[in-house]
Chain A
Amino acid sequence: MSTPVLELSGISKTFGAVRALSDVDFQVGEGEVVALLGDNGAGKSTLVKVISGAHPADSGGVITWDGKPVSIGTPADAQRLGIATIYQDLALCDNLDIVGNLFLGNEKLHFPGTLDEVEMESRARELLDSLSVRIPNLRVPVASLSGGQRQIIAIARSLLGQPRVVMLDEPTAALGVAQTAQVLDLIERLRDKGLGVLLISHNMADVRAVADRAMVLRLGRNAGDFPIADTSYEEIVAAITGAADNPVSRRSERTGASALATEDK
């Protein structure tokens, strides 16, 4: 695989008496989609928050960017490095149109303080075209968009900062089948553009469809790192639950159900 852009080793994070992450290693390379898997409470969101600077890690671990050690203490640090985070609860303003949302807080201006709408709309069109996102009218309020389109706008917005690593925390959790496919298509395009993608998802079908590697966390510790192509569904589930004999395998033996069933959220 390519050289990792972002590499974490020995990362720990405690919240009071709760040790959410202990001694965790993680890396993601250019043009690589890494799925971060684990049961509820395994520490996935906490790891994302450590990387995004929302909750800096405890001292002791090492974070390297392009092989050089860096420290991420605030969200601004992460953004400056080139890390973009798209949270589950989308940070969009329903009443603003697509262009307004894409450039929110980052508006293009001509005279002091006045908006350059033409420039922003052209740039928005270029950006969405480059992602092969088809939205006919960029001047409709995002309230009128579907869930998948809204997720796509949120992702596209994070790309304006020219990040090299994008982290998505359950981007498809609230979406239907067709809309999920739209978002997964977009994730593949991010990979094709050479971005590193960290994807949290509970949906094994999604993970198998787009991820190159699966990194499993269990009770805040590393519990396996698998190349998706040569790993079976059962192996990953075993790593997530911590046993070969687990509720999911027992159930599939009992019912003979397809191995590609979706784990419940």
Chain B
Amino acid sequence: MTQQTPVSKAPGRGGAESVAPKRDPRLLATVASPKGWLDAFKRALRGGDLGALPVVIGLILIAVVFQSANDRFLSPQNLSNLTVQIAAIGLMTTGVIMVLLLGEIDLSIGSVAGLAAAALAVLAVKQGVSEWVAIALAVGLGLLVGLVHGFIFAKLGVPAFVVTLAGLLGWQGLHLYLMGADGTINTSPSGTIALLTQTYFVSFMGWAIAVLALGLYVVSVFLVERRRRLAGLPYKPLTGVLFRAALLAVPILGGVWVLNQYKGVPLAFLIFVGFVVALDLILRKTRYGRMVYAVGGNAEAARRAGINVDLIRISVFGIASALAALGGVMLTSRNFAASVSTGGGEELMMAIAAAVIGGTSLFGGRGNAYSALLGGLVLGAIASGLLLLQMNTSVRFMITAGVLLVAVILDSLSRRGRKTHARGGA
């Protein structure tokens, strides 16, 4: 093949180049008007970059279907219960998301949740340790377990799914051993553990939290956009910032309003959302989060860039197991007991399914913390709706499987779309 490469050999190389404009004319600007936003939205749709849209549409669809089948579905009481029900598995999902971002999987989170529940009950009830301390120790145990998984995976090179498969079995064994002859250990119905899922905030507190969160969001985004403008970078104008804040205010203020009509915002849900927000900030705003994405995207590139890949892997597995343990604490709280079956059922599958349905890729490097909330809401809403319709678990499993399959297919298609896109182009 003959390849004559055209190269500009103008005299006085370089000097003749005109100064590049600050803002490239090819960059499609988002005009701050309803039409501009609509155009930007259409562009995102065509680029296959749908973000949270499919999940949000799915949620609305679920709400409409179940509400028309049973008008108690959208009642404040049902929605309030729903938010408490999804908290435990939701916390496990936030951990799973970290592991999925690395392109790995953790099959042990259900067993770790069960182990933490057993340790919690044994410490608090049998050993008489203060409940606060017992909670801390149970979560600490989870962290330790995860660090062991991460070490074996990162340092000894055993595939993560094998390490955590051994964990799935082994930690369940330790869980059963700790429970001893008792099938169930009841925890105090009025202690700290129980309060985690029995506490609701008075209306005023709910509103205050919502308004504070929205205010912080607007101020922080505004400050960033102002810095971008001063630095001569493309920025979102104030109207755009306020428009996004308004979009965000609808579910937040609406949620608080509905929850306040029952008992108020549940502490358990707030803890879950708090962890989701914290994880989101860590992933998007910190150097640690950037390293997690980098390792998930291309571990070799991350290593060459000087990132300690092993340390990132070990820490992510540690965090994932600690969050699973916290999920186990929540499960104990809601049942006022730890039993031999805590965490041993569908929790693992549902936590992973929620992450994928929420939009985190199984292929690593793509996804965000909010998948835990969105995916958890989808699965929780399906479970709750089918319960109202008195359908049993069999139907729920089949429907959940269908939703999961759709999510995975979307994930695979978008991955393929990006690949072909990357190969083409000039």
* Interface residues, chain A, with chain B CB atoms under 8 Å away: 90-96, 100, 104-107, 109, 113-115, 117-119, 121-122, 125, 128-129, 132, 134-137, 141, 143-146, 172, 177-181, 184-185, 188-189, 192, 203, 205-206, 209-210, 258, 260-262
Smallest CB-CB separation from B23: which chain A residue? A136
From known contacts A93-B302, A115-B290, A188-B14, infer whether A177 and B6 are also in contact, taking CB-CB under 8 Å: yes
- 16 more CB-based (< 8 A) A-B contacts, given A134-B26, A185-B8: A94-B365, A96-B290, A96-B297, A104-B290, A104-B301, A104-B302, A115-B290, A117-B224, A118-B233, A121-B228, A122-B233, A129-B20, A177-B3, A180-B3, A181-B7, A262-B1
* B366 neighbours in A (Cβ, 8 Å): 95
Ranked nearest first, the 8 interchain pairs of A and B with the lowest CB-CB distance are: A105-B305, A95-B365, A93-B297, A95-B297, A136-B27, A105-B306, A91-B301, A192-B14
- Determine whether the beta carbon of B287 is less than 8 Å from that of A125: no
Q: Mark B355-366, 1 if CB is under 8 A from A, else 0.
A: 000000000111
* B286 on interface, CB distance cutoff 8 Å: yes
> Given known contacts A136-B24, A181-B7, is B307 in contact with A105 (CB within 8 Å)?
yes
Q: Determine if B46 is an interface residue (Cβ-Cβ < 8 Å).
A: no
Checking A144, A205, A210 against B418 with a beta-carbon cut-off of 8 angstroms, the contacting residue is A144
Known: A136-B26, A143-B418, A143-B422. A189 touches B290 (CB 8 A): no
A179 near B426 with CB under 8 A, answer yes
Given A96-B294, A143-B419, the answer on whether A114 and B285 have CB atoms closer than 8 Å is yes
Distance between Cα atoms of A179 and B421 in the complex (Å): 16
Which residues in chain B, 260-307, are within 8 Å of chain A measured between CB atoms?
Answer: 285-288, 290, 293-294, 296-298, 300-302, 304-307
Contacting A at CB under 8 A, from B370-424, are 418-419, 421-422, 424
What is the interface size of chain B, counting residues whose CB is below 8 A from a CB of the partner? 52
B5 touches A91 (CB 8 A): no
Are B293 and A206 neighbours in the complex by a CB distance under 8 Å? Answer: no
Q: Does B13 contact A (CB under 8 A)?
A: yes
Say whether B155 faces chain A, with CB atoms less than 8 Å apart: no
| B251 lies within 8 A of chain A by Cβ | no
**B137: shortest Cβ distance to chain A, in Å?**
27
Contacts of B422 in A (CB 8 A): 94, 143-145
The 12 listed contacts between A and B (C-beta, < 8 Å) are A91-B305, A93-B297, A93-B302, A94-B297, A95-B296, A96-B290, A118-B224, A122-B233, A146-B424, A185-B8, A189-B13, A209-B9
Q: Is B244 an interface residue (CB 8 A)?
A: no
| Minimal beta-carbon separation of A211 from chain B (angstroms) | 11
Given known A91-B298, A181-B6, A188-B7, contact A114–B233 (CB-CB < 8 A)? no
B157 in the interface (beta carbon within 8 A):
no
How distant is the Cα of A253 from the Cα of B22 in the complex, in angstroms? 53
From B5, B286, B306, B424, A203 is in contact (CB under 8 Å) with B5
Q: Which residue of B lies closest to A94 (CB)?
A: B297
Neighbour of B305 across the interface among A106, A134, A192, CB < 8 A = A106
Per the bound structure, the CA–CA distance linking A119 and B232 in Å amounts to 11
B2 interfacial by beta-carbon distance below 8 Å: yes
Expressed in whole angstroms, the Cα–Cα distance for A95 and B26 within the complex equals 22
Known: A91-B304, A105-B306, A262-B2. A144 touches B17 (CB 8 A): no
Q: A188 — which chain B residues lie within 8 A by C-beta? A: 7, 13-14
Q: How far is the CA of A205 from the CA of B3 in the complex (A)?
A: 7
The distance from the CB of A84 to the nearest CB of chain B, in whole angstroms, is: 12
Contact, CB under 8 Å: B232 / A205: no
Does A118 contact B286, Cβ atoms closer than 8 Å?
Answer: no
B235 to A: closest C-beta gap in Å: 9
| Structural contact, A91 and B300, CB atoms closer than 8 A | yes
Q: Return chain B residues, CB-CB under 8 Å to A206.
A: 5
B11 neighbours in A (Cβ, 8 Å): none
A184 and B7 alpha carbons, distance in the complex (Å): 7
A177 to B2, CA, bound (A): 10
**Are the C-beta atoms of A115 and B285 separated by less than 8 Å?**
yes
Q: CB-CB < 8 A to A125: which residues of B?
A: 22, 233
Q: A93: which of B231, B286, B293 is its contact (CB, 8 Å)? A: B293
Is A107 within 8 A of B290, CB to CB?
A: yes
Min CB distance A125 to B, Å, is 7
Shortest Cβ distance from residue A74 to the other chain B in the assembled complex, whole angstroms: 13
Most chain B beta-carbon neighbours within 10 Å: one of A93, A106, A146: A93
Cβ-defined contact, A185 with B425, below 8 A: no
The reply on B227 being an interface residue by CB < 8 A is yes
Residue of A nearest to B285 (CB): A114
B4 at the interface (CB under 8 A from A): yes
